[in-house]
Amino acid sequence: MLKIFGIRHHGPGSAGSLRQALEAWQPDCLLVELPADAQGIVQHAGASDGDALRPPVAMLIYNPKNLKQASYLPFAAFSPEWVALSFASQNGLPVQCMDLPFGQHLSWQERQGEAPKLALHSDEKEGETDRELRDDPLGYIARLAGYRDRERWWDATFESAENAPEIFDAILEMMSALRETVGEERPETLLREAFMRKCIRRAVREGYERIAVVCGAWHAPVLAAYQSFKVGSDSAVLKGLKKVKTTATWIPWSYERLSFESGYSAGVVSPAWYALLFEKRPEAATRWMIRVARSLRKEDVGTSSAHIIEAIRLAEALAAMRALPLPGIGELREAAISTICEGEEEKMALVEQKLLRGASVGEVPPHLKLPTVALLRDIEKEVKSCRLSKYWESPGETWLGATATNPTGGIDLRSENGKRKSVLLHRLSLLDIPWGTRVELARHHSAGGFREHWKLHWQPDFIIGIIEAATWGNTLEAACRHYLNRKVFEQESLPQLTALLQQVLDADLPSVLPPLLRKLDNITALSTDVFELMEALPPLVSVARYGNTRGTDVTAVTAVIRHLVPRIVIGLPAAVAQLDEDASHEAFKLLKGVHHALDLLQDVAFNSDWLAALEKIALAKHTSELLCGACTRILFDKGHFDEEKAERLMYYALSPATAPMRAAAWLEGFLQGSAQLLLHQQELWKLLDGWVANLNGEYFPQVLPVLRRTFSRYSDAERQRLLKLAMHGPAKAAVEAGGEILPETEQDALGLVRLILGEA
């Protein structure tokens, strides 16, 4: 006898009903919709002893000869398949994985890639209803029932309700009617179903009398009616598929990765809510509201017991009004916002994602000795060696080395262990395994600093990334080295190569430096794009100046810089001519970066040539005012222009003959940096003051945003001093105002100054 149990993946209602149905029916064999090449590891699932797998976990299947070919199947405690495997483990039942092997699926994909694509559903007379039913049959049923989508309808009908085991007969009947109506099916689905029927026939031949089949509800009708399909027809569908050898293993998973946001197609909106529904159905709404209140209290949002009670009552009332057996996430959320959050959605937004996803992470005990790749073993060895094991496979975001007195932690690169930790994290980032994110803190922000601060956030799918990265090598160092050598060979962009150089140094891979520097030198010699050269210079200078923090010899970088700087100096004046406003701002950023880099180098010859190039730009007639002003300021700060020359150039830029917006752009460039120039150079202040005073009502609103943007870069203390300068004039700027009451006209003028300075 065959019994079909059509379920939805990760459905708590399906899981609860399945558990009751299996206990009532007591099968002697269990067939589950899992890839057949996972048969070797399925016995580890569902065991109840203390050292067993702890969900959420995922079944990972990959091609060991092409590690980029991998697939994962996540399971939570509320997944019906996990419930079925647990039942089999507790009752000593044989389990067969009956879905198409992943290895054969890969073969089918290759065959599909070679086959010509045929246009389906070309019947122009097909009605709108028929098309809607064919494209989304369950969605069509949901809309007939008054729901906006199939997920909400399925939740209300099968997952939230506490259904008796007979619900599976109703699901089978409904799916049979739908499949008869739709008729046509995707080739991949037909292929999988042919293989499943093949597995059912084998179980029957082996003499099992009470066979339970747990599968996706859509497949249920064609598996229940397996005898009506000819063996030869199913064999013909499967004919020609190569058997690609695969490896299967278990890996930890998390509720965060199980959600829809993870990109997994069979994910769920709220794993945390589904877990409550499965484990504590009668109390689920109450417990969820308590979690809301606790989470909000951690965010310093006051809540009371009365809030929680009213929220539960409101959620239950909403569910009753909508004819739901139990409040769903929608009803719970609305009730929580109305009562606990007092109508403010912003409060709910603080905790909503954490509440929906939950923070559960599964566990795969190491004693199971499951198959794994050499790279993963090497990384785990390095993690242990660097004393980072407590962070590995740990949920949530954590500062590395955080303590009660130092919540942001940090590692010291002068210690051997600190250096090893940094190298490990940088190497993992290189391979797109972002376990750690480096954070620059303001008080430690220095390119040559000896401390690094990292936030660690482990994700279960790092294992997949590691398996893919294993194509580059069996150890972390070898994988990074081979990966970078390939990147150097393929990369033709100068800025990206210089960024790669910093990564090489951070990851302590000196063997990659020679080919990388040769490539940099060659591209530098051939490049004609001055802006690309400017973008590349600051990282190179940073490496030349601070690369020895990890003890790496970077003297060869200096040779590349010596090729780079003269080409920038010669080409810059022509490159910045006739630029529009947006391009001028981009050039302005690059110019500042190059100037700072050359300051770090402290090369007299380079600085002399650089200042000469900036003088050409400052005096040019066809260069944007923003760049002219910026170059004038740099030259004045460096003493290349004296006060008289800077004053004269400012006078020309702010003369009545200059359009106000052009003058404002010149000021934006000239007033970059600190406000000390205006505070101590009285003549420059007077020129600026006179220019603003002479702006008429037509131009002032246009110029104001530029002035606000310019002065917003100054500190609060500097803007306060400028305000006093405007109030009392240069002679009295250092003296406090002392509560003097100003005439009405002067009050109006001060209001205007405050508006410009952003102090209003």
pLDDT tens readout for residues 168-184: 999 999 889 888 887 77
Instruction: Name every residue whose Cβ is closer than 8 Å to that of residue 393 and which is 6 or more positions away in sequence.
Output: 252, 361, 363, 458
Q: What is the mean pLDDT of residues 618-632?
A: 88
Dihedral in degrees, nearest 10, Cα atoms 673, 679, 680, 682: 120
**Residue 415: pLDDT over 50:** yes
CA dihedral sign of residues 668, 674, 677, 678: positive
The percentage of the chain sitting over the pLDDT mark of 90, rounded to a whole number, equals: 21
Least confident of 116-125, 441-450, 465-474, 639-648: 116-125
Does residue 299 register a pLDDT over 80? yes
Confidence band for 150, pLDDT divided at 50, 70 and 90: confident
Mean pLDDT of the chain: 81
Q: Percent of the chain scored above 70 by pLDDT?
A: 86
Average pLDDT over residues 608-637: 88
pLDDT tens digit sequence for 75-102:
988 899 999 999 999 899 999 999 999 9
269-273, long-range: CB < 8 A, 24+ apart: 269/151, 269/329, 269/356, 270/329, 270/355, 270/356, 270/357, 271/10, 271/56, 271/76, 271/356, 271/357, 271/358, 271/360, 272/355, 272/356, 272/357, 272/358, 272/360, 273/329, 273/332, 273/356
* Confidence class for position 653, pLDDT limits 50, 70, 90: confident
Distances (CA, A) of 73 to 8, 56, 76, 265, 395: 14, 11, 10, 10, 20
Give yes or no for residue 236 having a pLDDT over 60. yes
Residue 549 has pLDDT above 60, yes or no: no
Confidence band, pLDDT 50/70/90 cuts, at residue 442 = low
Which residues have a Cβ under 8 Å from the Cβ of 726 and sit 6 or more positions away?
A: 689, 749, 750, 753
278 in Cβ contact with 271 (< 8 Å):
no
| pLDDT above 70 (res 529) | yes
Better-scored residue on pLDDT, 149 or 427 = 427
The stretch 376-402 carries a mean pLDDT of 88
Domain ranges of the chain: 2-119+165-253, 271-357, 372-476, 657-760
Q: What is the pLDDT of residue 384?
A: 92
Output the pLDDT for position 746.
53
The pLDDT of residue 42 is above 60: yes
What is the per-residue pLDDT across 702-735, written as a single tens digit (0 to 9) for each?
Answer: 777 777 777 777 777 777 777 777 776 655 444 4
